[in-house]
Amino acid sequence: MSCLRGVGAVRPAGAALGRLLAQVASASGRGEALAGVWREAVGETVARHSRPRRLEGAVLVVACDAAPWREALQAQAPALLGRLQAVLGDSAVRSLLFQWP
C-alpha cells in the first residue's frame, strides 16, 4: 500500500503547474503561455485549429483558423471548459471566447 501513496501527488502537481501558467498568462495578458495546456486539454485535432490568444481576467480568448471551427468549438464550450479546468483548476479560466479571424 505504501507504494501507492505518491501516485495521487502527480495530479495536484500538474494542477499547480497549470495554475502557475494561468497566473503568468493572466499577468501578461498573453494566452500563448497556455498553449501546451490547451493542447493537453482539448486534444491534437482541436489544438491544430485553435490557439489561446489572451487571458482577460478569467476569460480565455481562443483564436480559431476558420469560422466553422469557431462555431463548432463554441457549441462544445462547456465540455472544453471542463477539460481545461481539470488541468488548470476551476478558478484559472471561467469561460471561453472563440474568435475568427
Domains of the chain and any CATH numbers:
2-99 (3.30.300.180)
- Residue 47: per-residue pLDDT: 96
- Residue 27: per-residue pLDDT: 59
AA identity, residue 10:
V
Q: Is the pTM value of this prediction over 0.85?
A: no
- Residue 11: per-residue pLDDT: 46
AA identity, residue 17:
L
Ranges of residues in the chain with a pLDDT under 70 are 1-29
CB 52 within 8 A of CB 25: yes
- Residue 92: per-residue pLDDT: 84
- Residue 26: per-residue pLDDT: 62
DSSP assigned state of 66: S
CB 22 within 8 A of CB 55: yes
- Write down the residue that cell numbers 490568444 correspond to: 53
- Residue 101: per-residue pLDDT: 85
- Residue 7: per-residue pLDDT: 42
- How many other C-beta atoms are found inside a 10 Å radius of the C-beta of residue 97? 13
AA identity, residue 24:
V
